[in-house]
Amino acid sequence: MATMKDVALLANVSTATVSRTLVKPESVSETTRLRVEQAVIETGYKINSQARSLRRNETRTVVVVVSDIDNPFYSEIIKGIEQEAVANDYLVVLGDASQQERDRIYSELVYTRQADGLILLGVPLPKPLKAKLNSSLPPLVMACEYEPDRKLPTVGIDNRAAAKEATEYLIKLGHHRIGCVTGMGDNPLTVCRLQGYKEALAATNIPFDEQLIVAEAYNPDGGSNAMRYFHSLAEPPTAIFCHADTQAIGVLHQARSLGISVPEQLSVMGFDGLPIGSYCFPTLTTILQPRVELGRVTMQSLMDSMKGLPARDRLLPHELIIRGSVAMR
């Protein structure tokens, strides 16, 4: 494998000149540049990124820690991140945090100098970083999830407003008993979206009923569970608002199994706007999150942060997508 030394030898210049030619071509003379460029081709020289990074003290790599790579919601976000990263000469290391300890492993890469910054995708702040909250955190952006404790730079949509809009739409169509399937645990998304749901109810004087709220995982099984629960109620809801399309898919499936027809007997509203929603039966009414754009903006935000600029929150627009799973009561 050729090094700069080989190139320098062939071009009859010093390695310093080779380096300059590659980094700042306008700082060397025309003839030297051509000679070096020729030598680079002839030797098949490729730069050793390790050495360059060590010297420059930067890696031009960012880590994306995603809560579950298998969740289709994230794949397009990752695509957006990747697009923006490559366009700016960054590399993306992808960490799946669905396994124990992975968030820790991946967030440490910043400290072992394998990455310059960190993106958390639906992942709470990992423990080792939590300890440093007060002192100095590495460049870091959270996407699609708000850290409840402290204020960390975040990119996402206005979840409260979006949930309110979704609920309002159901109310407008005559629904008063609206089931709500949230995420699990102390997920900040749950809090925001639940608040929007409550606000919509309150604005129309519909009493809030704790029985109509159920926490489930963001996947079809979670939706199935929720549907079974709602069905067991003395007075089941006439509409269900899921905090994720993946849950809505499970609701649709389970409703079918129970012989409940959607949207005739039950309206189902999703959240996220996954492509698969257009292929569900019935097609899924939902809130669209601009996922690719979310990814791009997240990466931009991180690059700002890595440049030392103050990272600010970014709120992107959402959109109510009306399809076939919601109907008049």
Residues that bind a copy of itself (CB under 8 A): 1, 46-51, 53-54, 59, 61, 69-70, 72, 75-76, 78-79, 82-83, 86, 91-96, 98-99, 102, 105, 108-109, 111-114, 220, 249-250, 252-253, 256, 275-276, 278-279, 281
Closest CB 183 distance from a copy of itself, rounded Å: 19
For residues 18 and 266, which CB has a smaller minimum distance to DNA in the complex?
18
Is 257 a residue that touches DNA (CB under 7 A)? no
Among 34, 41, 47, 315, binds DNA (CB under 7 A): 47
For residues 31 and 135, which CB has a smaller minimum distance to a copy of itself in the complex?
135
Is 57 a residue that touches DNA (CB under 7 A)? yes
Closest CB 128 distance from DNA, rounded Å: 18
For residues 40 and 255, which CB has a smaller minimum distance to DNA in the complex?
40
For residues 46 and 172, which CB has a smaller minimum distance to a copy of itself in the complex?
46
Q: 11 Cβ partners below 8 Å, 6+ apart?
A: 17, 18, 32, 35, 36, 38, 39
What element of type H or E holds 246?
Answer: helix 245-257
Closest CB 111 distance from a copy of itself, rounded Å: 4
The residue among 119, 127, 129, 131 whose CA lies nearest residue 156 is: 119
Phi-psi region of 76 (alpha: psi -120 to 50; beta: other; left: phi over 0): alpha
Q: Which of a copy of itself, DNA, none has residue 83 at its interface (CB below 5 to 8 Å by kind)?
A: a copy of itself
The full DSSP string for 179-198 is EEEE-STT-HHHHHHHHHHH
Is 114 a residue that touches DNA (CB under 7 A)? no
- The binding track of 10-39 with respect to DNA, each residue x by CB under 7 A or -, is --xxxxxxxxx-xx---xxx-xx-------
Among 55, 89, 151, 264, binds DNA (CB under 7 A): 55
Phi, psi of 321, rounded to the nearest 5 degrees: -105, 110
For residues 47 and 202, which CB has a smaller minimum distance to DNA in the complex?
47
Q: 240 Cβ partners below 8 Å, 6+ apart?
A: 178, 179, 180, 181, 226, 227, 230, 248, 251, 266, 267, 268, 269
The residue among 191, 184, 187 whose CA lies nearest residue 214 is: 184
Quote the distance between the C-alpha of residue 167 and its chain's center: 24
- Please measure the distance between the N-terminal and C-terminal CA atoms of the chain and give it in whole angstroms: 71
Coil, strand or helix at 240: strand
Largest CA distance in the chain: 88
Q: Which of a copy of itself, DNA, none has residue 99 at its interface (CB below 5 to 8 Å by kind)?
A: a copy of itself
Q: Which of a copy of itself, DNA, none has residue 91 at its interface (CB below 5 to 8 Å by kind)?
A: a copy of itself
Site residues (vs DNA, CB under 7 A): 1, 3-5, 12-20, 22-23, 27-29, 31-32, 45, 47-48, 51-52, 54-57
